[in-house]
Structure 1
């Protein structure tokens, strides 16, 4: 997979799939984004339905190291946009410790409005790669709006990657055995039960049911991992 391809990429799990399906269906059915299945749930479901798939996430267990290594190797400028104030700044410092020649040209939190939002988008247009963590669908909206302004860079939504990077102090967020046995979901619940237990217990089954429905009745849904 060529990760720097001048396209927008988003990574969906059952929860974000149901949100996009309801609020931004065009992002799932048109060529706005390269869609990837984030987490084992949709991968297993997709494979069971006869659509060969593999997990692809923007984190340290998947695409993030490849993306930042390529940016460093080719001297591509990177923008980090999202999360609470201070998180993107700290994430930038941690990434530059790992990748000393990485060019981080833009750093901004995800709480954008008014002139601040205009200014951040203008700076983002000058970056080769944008990594965006605002939650669905705001992160997709941000990248899509850049594309509408004729931005020709490569965009990635990254979910909680910036927060995880900072939380782990720049080290691996997931223990090796958790990643090996695809228990990242259980590890995250253990770390953030109040925020994630309902999502995994209720929202995920709903999203998976909608995914199955769309497979049989709306064949426009697409993914780009195989």
Structure 2
């Protein structure tokens, strides 16, 4: 059985440009990840502020799967915890924050943030880049943005091959993104690949990288999102499982069981320390 990680290395706040207030979002550890504590709207404005300045920054949207990947893989945990923001995407992480730290935090999901940031980007004349997913989904995304955000500038789109990129290919991708002038890059490679990629390339890209995972197919209507009541009650995973049972059943059985184990273990340790 994997051991619960009690100590995680959190990123230092991004350096602020002259005249811009320093952003030092507080974090609290939930099992293996340090989660950023910010209201939803404050987070959106923080991303837009960094995007305007073309700061090298990246965001991870954490769920149960990511927490357990971080428990199993210290290098992955480090890649996530060094990010500029780690927001609680999954409702169980909100439960963990409340149980371990008595903190009430808004849920900040990639599914919600993507449309919010597209709207903000269009209104603030910030160009965006889409990296990942499939060519067909990217084309649907292009059509969606033209219809719903006609003033939005798409600086570029690229669906990389499933194999690992060579050093030269990766350098060309970085050069292309920088040359595009994009302020934000929406990364859709899936966990843990997208988080590792963002951690590796973020220092060399003058834009905010956001690991949105499977949010893009939902945005363009290729997949449906769970009803609001399932989202609020932490049952969104059940809806996804019904949609893709073969792909997700094994992962959910394993990760959900491990999360419950580490949650209960962490709660027991918290109560012992605080004599609750």
Tell me, yes or no, if structure 1 residue 44 matches structure 2 residue 76: no
CA contact (8 A) 1:128 1:154 kept: yes
Tell me, yes or no, if structure 1 residue 27 matches structure 2 residue 79: yes
Q: Which of 188, 193, 212 is the aligned partner of 1:158?
A: 212
Deviation at 1:36, TM superposition (A): 0.8
Secondary structure of the 1:48 match is helix
CA contact (8 A) 2:80 2:195 kept: no
Q: Which of 151, 176, 187 is the aligned partner of 2:239?
A: 187
CA contact (8 A) 1:89 1:108 kept: no
Deviation at 1:191, TM superposition (A): 0.7
Across the aligned residues of Structure 1 and Structure 2, the Cα RMSD in angstroms comes to 2.6
Tell me, yes or no, if structure 1 residue 145 matches structure 2 residue 197: no
Of 106-115 and 188-197, more deviation after overlay is shown by: 106-115
Deviation at 1:33, TM superposition (A): 3.2
Deviation at 1:103, TM superposition (A): 0.8
CA contact (8 A) 1:20 1:137 kept: no
* Runs of at least 5 residues in structure 1 that lack an aligned partner in the other structure: 218-226
Q: Which of 99, 122, 131 is the aligned partner of 1:72?
A: 122
Matched ranges for 1:77-92 at <5 A: 77-92=127-142
For 1:212 and 1:159, how far apart are their aligned partners in 2?
28
Q: Normalising to structure 2: TM-score of the pair?
A: 0.67
Tell me, yes or no, if structure 1 residue 56 matches structure 2 residue 111: no
Deviation at 1:136, TM superposition (A): 2.1
Deviation at 1:41, TM superposition (A): 1.4
CA contact (8 A) 2:80 2:199 kept: no
Q: Normalising to structure 1: TM-score of the pair?
A: 0.80
CA contact (8 A) 1:143 1:155 kept: yes
For residues 10-65 of structure 1, what are the alpha-carbon distances to aligned partners after superposition, in whole Å with 9 as ceiling and x for unaligned?
011121122234142223443x3311111211111221222423311111xx2222
Query: Which of the pair has the greater relative contact order for Cα pairs under 8 Å at 6+ separation?
Result: 1
CA contact (8 A) 2:58 2:210 kept: yes
For 1:141 and 1:160, how far apart are their aligned partners in 2?
16
